[in-house]
Amino acid sequence: MHTYSTAHTCNHNWKQRYLLLVLLLLLLTGLLTSCASSQTAAAADVGDASAQRAIQNKGSDTIVNLALAWAEAYRKIHPDISIAVTGGGSGTGIAALINGTVDIANASRQMKESEIEEAKANGFDPIEFTIAIDALAVIVNPQNPVNELTIPQLADIFTGRITNWKEVGGNDAKIVLLSRESNSGTHVYFLEEVVRMGEKENKDIFAPQTLLMPSSVGITSEIRRNPNAIGYDGLGYVDVEHEKMLAIAKDAESPYITPSVETGADGSYPISRGLYMYTAGEPTGVIAEYLDWIMGADGQQIVADLGFVPLPTK
């Protein structure tokens, strides 16, 4: 009888210890799960904060080098802010802004009415910021004897009405036409202001034999290789050692002006244009601060350093 009682007591104690161990394990598991959840939530908060400090910037290939230089300089001042810059053309950047996949669209032309309407249909008014000025240079090979042209002559050349350099004082050679692709804001600007001479009702287009280049590099390479080629590029991309910039006149009665920072700034060069950034509605927070910096003294010094025309000082 005594033996039975001792065994029963031992068995009872073992069960108590077992239950206590199970309770302790459950408690420990709960504490670990809670801790892990807190860490996950904290990581998510950090991720959200990080996302709020990132700026997506896309668009014009004319602006891309300038935008990259701005992003690099700004990151040195604000290392906690990430700025991702990609090109693809003004149309690509504007489309991305309309679709809500970027914070800032770079454009070397103003938004079209149809694009503005698309943005409004998506719930926002696009806000335009002029961030620099560009003198759009007409370039030829240094061996080409032609030094100046009027905008009407350029219109005749790029529509194919003039096909030989001798018609504008050059060699007896066929003119090779170079242009940026149609999604480029530079292409659109040159089409509207030079090929169509700024006339709203003019429906002229580039001649079908025009070679469409995906980038400024393509135009530059062909100009260097071909003494009969003519193209156009942003002033900041022109290499004066290997390309010749033509002096341009508004018409035969106007003075011929060579593109430069000075002639672009004072408006005397007839193919000058604004360069733009667009946001989806009025910018706030880090985006507003970044745009203010771009249009301030430090940002505009980079504009001048890269061969573009800084904004007039207020």
pTM: 0.76
- pLDDT at position 40 is 37
Tally of CA atoms within 13 A in the half-sphere of 28 that contains its CB:
6
Contacts of 17 (CB under 8 A, 6+ apart): none
Q: Is residue 82 within 8 Å of 53, Cβ to Cβ? A: yes
- pLDDT at position 13 is 54
Instruction: Tell me the backbone φ, ψ of residue 82, rounded to 5 degrees.
Output: -100, 130
- pLDDT at position 215 is 85
**Token digits of residue 73:** 């300089």
How many beta carbons lie within 10 A of that of residue 231, not counting itself?
26
Q: Is residue 126 within 8 Å of 119, Cβ to Cβ? A: yes
End-to-end CA, the chain? 107
- pLDDT at position 53 is 74
- Identify any residues that bridge with 83 across adjacent strands, giving them in sequence order: 55
**Token digits of residue 281:** 């509605």
| Strand, helix or coil for residue 116 | helix
- Identify any residues that bridge with 212 across adjacent strands, giving them in sequence order: 179
Name the CATH architecture for the domain at 134-272.
3-Layer(aba) Sandwich (3.40)
Q: Is residue 152 within 8 Å of 253, Cβ to Cβ? A: no
Give burial (CB, 10 Å; 0-12/13-18/19+) of 296.
exposed
Dihedral, 223, 228, 234, 237 alpha carbons, nearest 10 = 20
- pLDDT tens digits, the chain, 314 residues: what are they? 444 444 444 444 544 554 555 455 545 544 444 444 344 333 333 334 444 478 999 999 999 999 999 999 999 999 999 999 999 999 999 999 999 999 999 999 999 999 999 999 999 999 999 999 999 999 999 999 999 999 999 999 999 999 999 999 999 999 999 999 998 999 999 999 999 999 999 999 999 999 999 888 899 999 999 999 999 999 988 988 899 999 999 999 999 999 999 999 999 999 999 999 999 999 999 999 999 999 999 999 999 999 899 998 86
Domain boundaries, the chain: 134-272
- pLDDT at position 16 is 55
